[in-house]
Amino acid sequence: MKKIIITSGIIAFVILSLQSFSQQITTPAPSPAASVSQTIGISTVTVKYSRPAVKGREVWGKLVPYGWNVQGFGNGKEAPWRAGANTNTVIEFSHAANVQGKDVPAGSYGLFFVINKDNSGEVILSKDYKSWGSFFYDAQRDQLRAPIQIRDGSLTEWLTFDFISLDKNSAELVLSWEKKQFPLTIKFSTDDIVMSNAVEELKGPIGFNWRGFSSAANYTLTNKVQMDKGMEWIDLAIAQAKNFTNLNIKSGLLQEAGKTAEADKVKKEALAVATEAELNAYGYQLLGQSQYDKAIEILTLATERFPKSANAWDSLGEAYALKGDEKNAVLNFKKSLKMNPPENVRANSEKYLKQYGAL
């Protein structure tokens, strides 16, 4: 059944208020404006809205009617709820997104919801995002309409948008008000977006330094995407700087391509030019991947090449400790302490030795 939810008196008040806005001083709004923004991958979602309060009112089915409703002002068509107060609630996507399983181009949209008595509902994204509320809502301007399942939740006095359940590619945007939650799943094709963005960035100042091509190639290796393109980029980086970082990335790309012999050859070349800091960082990277024997091999190389470095012996001790080899861990920590190490290195060696009862 269609419902008229705005009285003639309220219509007159709204019209008069709009006409006189420019003649009034700035005062606090009953439903203050707010915005929330979230980065997902390298994409951004921003919601701008106004926050009404419950104020002891019956919200669902009363203040916000169930279903679609004809309002007593505007174009006289059935309209959804404006997901807030005052002007349209506006959601903006920096890149093309997927909302509730449907693709949406980058841009700004009016965000609307429908709630039914059984907690089923709809989300609507309208190309008309500059309108006031839903008084002039036009279904022909919809970019997206999709079903949602509304959840019961704890009391939220002021209408609030939050982003939860974040990962590299997605997040859940949730409108919470009174004891209801309106969830939307938003997804981005992050790898595709990063790669397309990298192509453009490397045409600019970033492309004049080996680090730009190196970081782009490393992204393809780490995320296992477009590694052929990654190989092109790392070769361009190596042409500018033949260093451990670049050679190590190329070795990894060759390994992923199944070219094991060539990968091993490039890895040896990388280790031959590695600095102490690079060997140390690579060793800890391997430790983070639980590759303890490989990490010990790399950190042993560091002690052989830099035998007077207390940090090198401390790092090797930590590798043995993480592997569970107490004997060799104690041996290397004691070597580190004999070299009058910096305070942070000393503290690390002493911490482990105390745990072993060797200090």
CB-based burial, 262-290: b 16+ in 10 Å, e otherwise? ebeebbeebbeebeeebbbbbbbebbeee
Q: Are residues 240 and 177 in the same domain?
A: no
**Which pLDDT tens digit goes with each residue over 272-313?**
999 999 999 999 999 999 999 999 999 999 999 999 999 999
- Say if CB 202 and CB 209 are below 8 A apart: no
The closest alpha carbon to 33, from 134, 127, 158, 130, belongs to: 158
Q: Are residues 184 and 311 in the same domain?
A: no
Residue ending a domain, among 138, 163, 188, is 188
Is pLDDT at 12 greater than 60 in this prediction?
Answer: no
DSSP state of 88: P
Residue ending a domain, among 137, 172, 188, is 188
Q: Are residues 167 and 221 in the same domain?
A: no
Q: Are residues 196 and 148 in the same domain?
A: no
Q: Are residues 240 and 275 in the same domain?
A: yes
**Which pLDDT tens digit goes with each residue over 77-132?**
899 999 999 989 999 999 999 999 999 999 999 999 999 999 999 999 999 998 88
Q: Are residues 184 and 195 in the same domain?
A: no
Is pLDDT at 140 greater than 50 in this prediction?
Answer: yes
Alpha-carbon separation of residue 260 from 223, 256, 267, 339 (angstroms): 19, 8, 10, 39
Boundaries of domain holding 179: 8-188
Pairing of β 43-50 and β 69-70: unpaired
Q: Are residues 88 and 226 in the same domain?
A: no
Task: Output the pLDDT for position 321.
Answer: 97
Residue ending a domain, among 188, 204, 237, is 188
- Say if CB 25 and CB 7 are below 8 A apart: no
CA distance 83 to 173: 13
CA distance 50 to 81: 13
Q: What is the mean pLDDT of residues 171-200?
A: 98
**Which pLDDT tens digit goes with each residue over 20-64?**
445 788 899 899 999 999 999 999 999 999 999 999 999 999 999
- Say if CB 173 and CB 186 are below 8 A apart: yes
Q: Are residues 223 and 296 in the same domain?
A: yes
